[in-house]
A = this chain, B = another copy of it.
Amino acid sequence: MPERSPDPARRSERSRTAILSATRKLSAELGYQAMSIEAIAAAAGVGKQTIYRWWPSKGVLMLDMWGEQVQLQGEFPDTGDVAADLKVQIRGLVELANDPELGPSLRSLIGAAQHEPALLEELLTSIVRPRIEACKRRLRKAQEDGQINRGVDLDIAVDLLYGGFYHRLVLPVTRLDDAFVNGIVDEALRGIGATL
């Protein structure tokens, strides 16, 4: 690709990528609240108007950046082995949390959402609820396959599996590591009736 492409679509895509990447870097460095659209524009080498053309607010930009990370993780795996699938999925989250840029950015986003109701609602709608639903679909399949109890409340199952991640993320008393991933999935699944 030439340095200055004459193709506007390609130039747009380059700007978009630069803006999302600057958002990821600055949100980790400064935190969501201290990060300004001006700073993102400067770091991405674009004008503020370019950002506002695509994103109405800093919150929506931040959520789009996270949306891309979540997309990179792909669909909830289904190999038939529910324990292995959950470990892959939760290990992916743990890797995000331990990434030196993405981890602080995720904590900062969840932190800011506690003071900004509109940001929280958008975070729940665009990222959290769809992921919880994907997990529940996988667990429902495991119920059909006779791998976990049919009677179990799947919201409780999601809390058993994912609650520890958020607990350790926002109140980091104990580490998010591989032993955590294996331990939490094994004990949670035993709780909801899996024979491991």
Residues on A facing B (Cβ under 8 Å): 31-34, 107-108, 110-115, 120, 123-124, 128-129, 132, 152-153, 155-160, 162-168, 170-174, 179-180, 183-184, 187-193
Chain A residues touching B, majority SS: helix
Q: A163 contacts which of B107, B108, B159 (Cβ < 8 Å)?
A: B159
Q: In the complex the two chains form, is B129's CB within 8 Å of A173's CB? A: yes
Residues of chain B lying within 8 A (CB to CB) of residue A167:
158-159, 162-163, 166-167
Task: Count identical subunits in the complex.
Answer: 2
For the complex with contacts A124-B171, A160-B163, 17 further pairs of A-B residues with Cβ separation under 8 Å are A111-B113, A111-B114, A124-B173, A128-B171, A132-B173, A155-B180, A156-B184, A157-B187, A159-B163, A163-B163, A163-B165, A166-B166, A166-B167, A187-B191, A189-B191, A190-B191, A190-B193
